[in-house]
Amino acid sequence: MEQFRLPQIPMPELQLPKAVEKVLEEARQKLAHRPKLMKQFLNCFPNTLETTTKLMDDGTTFIITGDIPACWLRDSVEQVIHYVPLAKEDKELQRIISGLIKRHMQYIAIDPYANAFNESANDWHWNTDDITDMGPWVWERKFELDSICFSIRLAYAYWKETGLTDIFDSNFKSVMRTIIELWRIEQRHFELSPYRFTRNNGIPEDSLRNNGMGMPVNYTGMIWSGFRSSDDACDFHYNVPANMFAVVSLRQMQEFAEWVFRDMTMLAELKALEADVDHGIQLYGIYRHPDFGPIYAYETDGFGNYCLMDDAGTPGLMSIPYLGYVDAEDPIYQNTRRFALSKENPFYFEGKAAKGIGSPHTPKGYIWHMALSMQGITATSNEEKLALIDVLEATDADTGFMHEGFHADDPNEFTRSWFAWSNSLFSQLVYKAMKEDLL
């Protein structure tokens, strides 16, 4: 995503909520013995609020990714998710987070296939020549199954943390209906879906093959996705971690249907859809690896073909417990984790400065800070968590911030100096370690 060169949207200065200031003060005390890590945390924890967040007059919240002036559904959720545990007693944070949820519902209602949106109907687009059904609100229309899951994730976390139901208006329920219908259609993509996407820029990962429809798939019960969380096209269009995320989202929407909207018909539909998707994962999404045993595949087509890899983006195989599909002790997850952190994963790299997972989205040999943060968040031992924090602290190229990818031999070679999602995920890991008294 480096090629974008339009002028940046000026974001108004936002006063930090009191709960955030309190965390920063806590960090000054607990991390005083590690001045570099303290500086990184003080930079990264409030970065979303300080540089990417705009409160809108209609009560919603618009959040850019950092160096791109558009709101990604996925990124914007992960940019604020570390603030949710602080929101119960902080009305300023409630305004920011609930406003983002409401804006997400507006966006999904406009186009449930789109992954990124504009602040207004200004007709700005990532690429003006994309062959798909664009609209003036849509920045990019790559259908990524995980995008909507993140919107549900934030709504659920906000509701559970605060107990507030202000987000659950008639539009929210209408969007739940839209999601159910969309995912049913994409269970049978080739038979039912109107979605097509082609980008004529010479980059294969930016387009769907087969005249924009994607490669053939067999019915499995899982939900088809055009693109991964990296915004790169899927090889095989049942992305397993994204479908796991969809199962979790369907379970969360069941709670909305039963306890908020009291809609037993919708509840039954959600349960049936969850059962279909989960059955597909268990039947088609597990690969019997000769060295690691049964592991979760990254992608499959339902015809017996598998993509065996992991990508630094979330959702990925490393993040399965983070998503809430299974816990970190799950034996198949543990097998999968060992695979992802081995050279059997084509995007696992080792160098003089670090070892970890990268992505086909960045050059070979580049490790992502987000992958290191996620590895730490999902680690089952304190030793591994602390080791990952040490690596993150040492590989920021002395900028005080996290990046996208950096060269495994030389962290001074990196992509994206302003990537708020990466800063937020790092903040989650460090704050978790602080609360567990590991630092």
What tens digit of pLDDT does each residue of 78-97 get?
Answer: 999 999 999 999 999 999 99
What whole-number distance in Å separates Cα of residue 38 and Cα of residue 18?
A: 19
Whose CA is closest to 318, among 339, 291, 289?
339
Residue 13 CB neighbour total at 10 angstroms? 8
Give percent above pLDDT 70 in the chain.
98
Question: Region 267-294: what's the mean pLDDT?
Answer: 98
CA neighbor of 49 nearest in space, from 358, 432, 381, 427? 427
**Nearest C-alpha neighbor of 11 from the set 47, 43, 50:** 50
Helix (H/G/I), strand (E/B), else coil: 294: strand
Residue-wise pLDDT tens digits, 338-397? 999 999 999 999 999 999 999 999 999 999 999 999 999 999 999 999 999 999 999 999
Whether 112 contacts 138, CB under 8 Å: no
Which residue, 117, 106, 227, is CA-closest to 174?
A: 106
Percent of the chain with pLDDT over 90: 94
92: which residues sit within 8 A by CB, 6+ positions away?
15, 17, 18, 19
pLDDT value at residue 5: 42
- Helix (H) / strand (E) containing 289: strand 286-289
| Whole-angstrom distance, CA of residue 301 vs CA of residue 299 | 7
Interatomic CA distance for residues 76 and 61, integer angstroms: 10
User: What local confidence, expressed as pLDDT, does residue 7 receive?
Assistant: 43
CB atoms closer than 10 angstroms to residue 199: 22
**Distance (Å) of CA 113 to CA 144, 254, 316:** 8, 22, 20
Smallest CA-to-CA distance from 208 within 227, 189, 191 is with 227
CA distance 70 to 118: 5
Per-residue pLDDT tens over the stretch 207-238: 999 999 999 999 999 999 999 999 999 999 99
**Nearest Cα to Cα of residue 348 among 325, 326, 375, 328:** 375
Residue 108 to residues 10, 311, 323, Cα–Cα distance (Å): 25, 26, 21
Q: Give me the residue label for tokens 């597909």.
A: 280
Other beta carbons within 10 angstroms of residue 68's beta carbon come to: 22
Band of the pLDDT at 297, cuts 50, 70, 90? very high
Closest CA to 231 of 345, 78, 114: 114
Mean residue pLDDT across the chain: 96
Q: What is the three-class DSSP state of 21?
A: helix
pLDDT at 397: 97
Helix, strand, coil % over all residues of the chain, rounded to 5: 45, 10, 45
- If pLDDT is split at 50, 70 and 90, which confidence band does 13 have? confident
Q: Which residue in the block uniquely carries the two structure tokens 């190229």?
A: 397
Confidence of residue 10 (pLDDT cuts 50, 70, 90): low
Whole-number Å distance between alpha carbons of 339 and 344: 6
Calpha distance 6→26 (Å, rounded): 38
Residue 261 φ then ψ, to 5°: -95, -15
At 117-169, the pLDDT tens digits run 999 999 999 998 899 999 999 999 999 999 999 999 999 999 999 999 999 99
Name residues whose C-beta falls within 8 Å of residue 58's C-beta, 6 or more positions apart in sequence. none
What is the Cα–Cα distance from 220 to 284, expressed in whole angstroms? 7
Phi, psi of 11, deg, nearest 5 = -100, 125
**What is the Cα–Cα distance from 204 to 214, expressed in whole angstroms?**
12
52 half-sphere exposure, CB direction, 13 A CA radius: 28
DSSP lists the bridge partners of residue 356 as 349
Q: Report residue 431 CA to chain centroid gap.
A: 19
Domains of the chain by residue range: 21-51+347-439, 68-343
Residue 358 and residue 361: Cα distance in Å, rounded? 8
pTM: 0.96
3-state secondary structure of 270: helix
C-beta neighbour count of 69 within 10 angstroms:
21
pLDDT tens digits for range 21-60: 999 999 999 999 999 999 999 999 999 999 999 999 999 9
Topology (CATH) of 68-343: Glycosyltransferase (1.50.10)
Residue 8 has pLDDT above 70, yes or no: no
9 has pLDDT over 70: no
